Every structure is written in C-alpha cells, then in structure tokens.
C-alpha cells in the first residue's frame, strides 16, 4: 500500500485531500496542530477500515520537522508521496495601516517555504526512503500580483506576505526538482485559484468578472491536479507548476 503524507491535514485543503486519498485506498498520514481534530478524523476513517495516522505538530517550532520524522520511524512508516500544505491564518494578519509586521512576514515564509524545504529534504535523506513525488501547494498569487479590483480595501484585505511566500515556493519547487533528480524524486507545484467557502456573495461576484471560468473553484476540484502529479501519469514532469486557477493567470 502506498503512503501519502499531507501536512496541514485538518485545514480547508487538507481535509479534502485526506478524504480523497483515504477513499483511494492509500495509507494517509497527516499533520495538524490540534490533537482533538486528529482524534476526530482518525476515528472517522479508521471506523471505515481506512489506514490513517495523525501526527500532532506545530511547524513554527524549531526541530518540529525532526519530530515528524521520528514519529514516522517509530511507527515504521515509509512515505511514498508528500503534499506540502501546512499553513496558518494567523501569519496573514495585516496592520491597521495596511503594512505587515516583520513577525507575520517571517512566519508566513517559514510555513510556506522553509518547512516544505526541511521536510522534503529530511524524507529524501532517510536511508530507506521510498519518496517518489512531492507536490507543493501554491497559489495564483505566487504567479501574479493580487488584482486590486477584487477587493474593497486592497491593502488590508490582500496580505502581501502570502503572495511573496508562494512565489518563493515556486522557485523552491524548481531547486528541489534539480537537487533531488538523482534520487528519482519528482517535485512539482499546484498554483490554485480562489476556492469557495470563506467569502461572501459580493466577493464571489467580483471574482467571477476577473477570471475566464467566471467562478471560483469548488472543493471537489482540489484533489485532481495533486493526484495527477503524484502518479506515474506525470512521470515526465518535475519542477513544474500547474495553474489550477480557472484561467486567472492567463490574462
């Protein structure tokens, strides 16, 4: 049975991915900062006979990646696929004047770039590593700047640190693809457009006028590109970014 490790497995994207790959019959290992959410999810899927393991970890803490690796080793789990998805909404805070505090900028960069780097390299270095494919969760705002027309208060509603960190994640994807090629580990990225769920109808209406598909993404559209990049169907692809954004970045 193949094993996929999904960081941030109880968030908006993560919960969708955990369910998808569980139903695909894979062993799913996921991380979360919440022991309560881990117990709830593991209980639900274990009851259905699915192989699922939750690891509680706060990636903002130093040596947190090493603790995840230790948990994997203690449980005799070898990871075939990695999805770097962990993030924190707290680091997206903006000051009243529209600026970003240094701590929030650094925290966003830590989770979006440094932690994916550390975890990918740590898994690749394991003596009996089975790691084959890595997918980093990016954003349209890592490809292009945020469009002010989408917001009623651009400076305060569109965190600049988010897009800057996601842009760095794109380059990390390319660097890791080169550096891990000798180990036959592929590294790719999916740059998603906005997904319905946390916005009001007025925001959705503005978004629709700015994208060729004339709508936001739905949660059911999240897993497809990742499943493709993890699978052998994408064996010719590494260091690439798939823009699953309804066409946002093409005009």
Which CA distances in Å does 113 have to 62, 145, 164, 186? 15, 18, 10, 17
Range of the domain at 140: 3-90+102-144+160-194+222-244
Residue 206 placed within a domain = no
* pLDDT band per the 50, 70, 90 thresholds, residue 58: very high
The pLDDT of 64-71, averaged and rounded, is 98
Domains in the chain, number: 1
Per-residue model confidence (pLDDT) at position 128? 79
Per-residue model confidence (pLDDT) at position 161? 98
What percent of the chain has pLDDT above 70?
Answer: 100
Give 189-224 pLDDT, tens digit per residue: 999 999 998 899 999 999 999 999 999 999 999 999
pTM of the model: 0.96
Q: CB-based contacts of 80: which residues, under 8 Å, 6+ apart?
A: 2, 3, 4, 130, 131, 132, 133
Residue 149 placed within a domain = no
Residue 85 placed within a domain = yes
Residue 216 placed within a domain = no
Residue 155 placed within a domain = no
Per-residue model confidence (pLDDT) at position 50? 87
Dump the DSSP string for 138-178. Answer: EEGGGTSPPPGGG-SSHHHHS-HHHHHHHHHHHHHHHHHHH
- Tell me the CATH number at 233: 3.40.50.720
Question: For tokens 């975890």, what's the residue?
Answer: 119
Residue 202 placed within a domain = no
Number of neighbours of residue 128 by Cβ within 10 angstroms: 6
Per-residue model confidence (pLDDT) at position 166? 98
Per-residue model confidence (pLDDT) at position 46? 82
Per-residue model confidence (pLDDT) at position 229? 98
Residue 229 placed within a domain = yes
Q: CB-based contacts of 238: which residues, under 8 Å, 6+ apart?
A: 177, 181, 186, 187, 188
């Amino acid at each position: 049975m193949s094993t996929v490790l999904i960081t941030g497995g109880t968030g908006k994207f993560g919960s969708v991915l955990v369910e998808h790959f569980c139903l695909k019959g894979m062993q799913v290992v996921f991380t979360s900062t919440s022991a309560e959410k881990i117990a709830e999810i593991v209980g639900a899927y274990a009851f259905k006979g699915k192989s699922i393991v939750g690891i509680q970890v706060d990636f903002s803490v130093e040596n947190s990646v090493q603790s995840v690796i230790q948990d994997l080793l203690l449980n005799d789990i070898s990871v075939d696929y990695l999805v770097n998805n962990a993030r924190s909404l707290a680091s997206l805070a903006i000051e009243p004047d529209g600026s970003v505090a240094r701590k929030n900028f650094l925290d966003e960069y830590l989770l979006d770039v440094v932690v994916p780097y550390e975890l990918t390299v740590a898994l690749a270095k394991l003596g009996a590593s089975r790691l084959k494919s890595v997918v980093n969760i990016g954003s349209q705002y890592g490809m292009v700047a945020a469009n002010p027309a989408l917001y009623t208060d651009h400076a305060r509603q569109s965190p600049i640190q988010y897009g800057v960190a996601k842009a760095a994640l794109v380059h990390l994807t390319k660097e890791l693809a080169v550096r891990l090629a000798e180990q036959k580990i592929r590294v790719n990225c999916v740059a998603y457009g906005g997904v319905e769920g946390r916005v009001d109808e007025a925001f959705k209406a503005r978004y629709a006028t700015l994208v060729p598909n004339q709508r936001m993404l739905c949660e059911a559209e999240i897993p497809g590109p990742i499943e493709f990049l993890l699978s052998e169907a994408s064996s010719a692809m590494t260091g690439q970014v798939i823009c699953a954004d309804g066409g946002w970045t093409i005009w």
